[in-house]
């Protein structure tokens, strides 16, 4: 026996379909924005201190360097990723001094964030704590010491400098162990074509391009692995605090860091 569908039932069904339609549209818009325009990242380590702190959340512009397969959605831990093209589309070269997010070359999955120090063809070396690019020492100016967490977890005053890279980008670095830390003296690195040399601003606490992949390091970063350029800090909570614990925000949010440049 057929059943007559009431007006109220039809209205409920229409309302449910409309709700599903709105949700799907919102998800598609969010996916397009995340894939092509901006993607949020959180900072889990102290390798970019003092520029970026543990607990900072930054927006990364996906369009800054163009797009590769690493710009597209993936399913973590399942080794699944859309594979639509090779190389980069609408690509542009990073500038020296950019703070960039990239996929760690040795697994092509883990997101890392460092500063672009060496461009293709550059010769990079650390000698007694000083950075040399193409045979020239990179100038730095002494700043007042800042308090940051040392290797033992305690807060200490650390040597702090303003370093000015070729091209004019000035940024702050810290040297927890002075100019005699591990990797403050390195071999001469020659950056291969279509690759980049990355370093952290926390020079004595950054596993970066000074460390080879077989050492657990980054090594050279292929252009294809670039994800985007860090633009702005949109949220920040103190270390070991949960960003979603909104009832603690009055005490845990670093209000003075919100909307600061991420470079």
Q: Kindly name the residue from 62, 114, 223, 236 that is annotated as catalytic.
A: 114
Kind of pairing between the strands at 136-137 and 130-133: antiparallel
DSSP secondary structure letter of residue 135: T
- Taking a C-beta distance cutoff of 8 angstroms, is the pair 104, 218 a contact? yes
| Strand stretches in 88-225, DSSP E | 99-103, 111-118, 123-127, 130-133, 136-137, 140-149, 155-164, 170-174, 189-190, 195-199, 221-222
Respond yes or no: is residue 62 known to be catalytic.
no
249: its two tokens: 């925000």
Residue 95 designated active-site:
no
Tokens of 123: 């010769």
Q: Which candidate in 47, 71, 206, 223 is catalytic?
A: 47
For the annotated catalytic residues, the residue numbers are 47, 114
């Amino acid at each position: 026996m057929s059943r007559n569908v009431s007006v109220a039932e039809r209205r409920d069904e229409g309302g449910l379909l409309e709700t599903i339609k709105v949700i799907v549209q919102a998800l598609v818009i969010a996916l397009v924005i995340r894939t092509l325009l901006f993607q949020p990242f959180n900072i889990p380590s102290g390798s970019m201190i003092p520029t970026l702190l543990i607990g900072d959340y930054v927006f990364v512009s996906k369009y800054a360097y163009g797009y590769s397969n690493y710009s597209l959605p993936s399913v973590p831990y399942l080794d699944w990723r859309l594979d639509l093209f090779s190389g980069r589309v609408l690509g542009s070269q990073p500038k020296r001094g950019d703070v960039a997010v990239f996929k760690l070359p040795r697994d092509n999955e883990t997101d890392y964030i460092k500063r672009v120090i060496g461009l293709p063809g550059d010769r990079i070396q650390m000698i007694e704590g000083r950075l040399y690019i193409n045979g020239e020492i990179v100038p730095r100016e002494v700043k007042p010491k800042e308090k940051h967490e040392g290797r033992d977890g305690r807060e200490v005053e650390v040597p702090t400098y303003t370093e000015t890279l070729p091209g004019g980008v000035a940024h702050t670095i810290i040297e927890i162990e002075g100019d005699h830390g591990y990797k403050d003296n390195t071999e001469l690195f020659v950056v291969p074509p279509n690759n980049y040399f990355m370093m952290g601003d926390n020079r004595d606490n950054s596993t970066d391009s000074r460390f080879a992949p077989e050492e657990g390091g980054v090594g050279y970063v292929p252009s294809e692995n670039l994800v985007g350029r860090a633009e702005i800090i949109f949220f920040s909570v103190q270390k070991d605090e949960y960003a979603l614990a909104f009832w603690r925000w009055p005490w845990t949010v670093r209000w003075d860091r919100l909307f600061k440049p991420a470079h």
